[in-house]
Amino acid sequence: MSRIIKSIALDEQTAKIADTLPNFSHFVRECLYRHAISNTLECSREKTWRGTDRCNPLMQPVCFNCWPNGSPPVEAVKQWSQDKLAMSFLDDRAKSHNEYLIDLTGINRKAQKTRKSAVKVGFFASIRQKIRDRSP
Ligand SMILES: [Zn+2]
């Protein structure tokens, strides 16, 4: 993946938040993907992966439309396939595998169906609330 350098302006409060993130660029990229999916883009890949209604979770960049918790680990996909497990197994394994990702539940399309309150407060207000909730 080629890298394009962008500079942004933060205020004191958001600069402090940025300092707490292990990889700020990764955070911004993830937010942009999620924002694009929740506002304009649908999954453009074939949503027929292994007989499911989702796209391949191992393709990069991860599709947060089909995989709101990010990609599950490869070994979880193998186990899911061999043991014919439920999709919730992959979602749970993806969540624990990607726990470094900020929890943006309520931001993406799939989560909006179950958590209306987060949608009403807006994208950035919701992120700020999530960060406040994580603070000690
Ligand atoms: Zn997809």
For residue 57, the CA-to-ligand 1 centroid distance in Å is: 8
- Which of 40 and 95 is assigned the larger pLDDT? 95
Token reading at 5: 């350098």
CA distances from 89 to 11, 23, 42, 55, 68 (A): 40, 27, 24, 16, 13
Lowest mean pLDDT segment, chosen from 6-20, 79-93, 119-133: 119-133
Specify whether the CB–CB gap between 102 and 69 falls below 8 A: no
Output the pLDDT for position 122: 66
- Which of 116 and 16 is assigned the larger pLDDT? 16
Q: Indicate the domain borders of the chain.
A: 24-134
State residue 16 phi and psi, 5-degree precision: -65, -40
| Type of residue numbered 21 | L
For residue 51, the CA-to-ligand 1 centroid distance in Å is: 14
Specify whether the CB–CB gap between 108 and 34 falls below 8 A: yes
For residue 63, the CA-to-ligand 1 centroid distance in Å is: 5
Neighbours of ion ligand 1 (CB under 5 A): 43, 55, 63, 65-66
Say which residue the tokens 């205020």 belong to: 11
For residue 52, the CA-to-ligand 1 centroid distance in Å is: 11
Output the pLDDT for position 85: 95
Output the pLDDT for position 99: 77
Output the pLDDT for position 115: 44
Evaluate if residue 103 carries a pLDDT over 70: no
For residue 56, the CA-to-ligand 1 centroid distance in Å is: 7
Q: What does pLDDT average to over the chain?
A: 80
Specify whether the CB–CB gap between 57 and 90 falls below 8 A: yes
Residue 104, burial from CB neighbour count under 10 angstroms (0-12, 13-18, 19+): buried
Lowest mean pLDDT segment, chosen from 10-14, 21-25, 52-56: 21-25
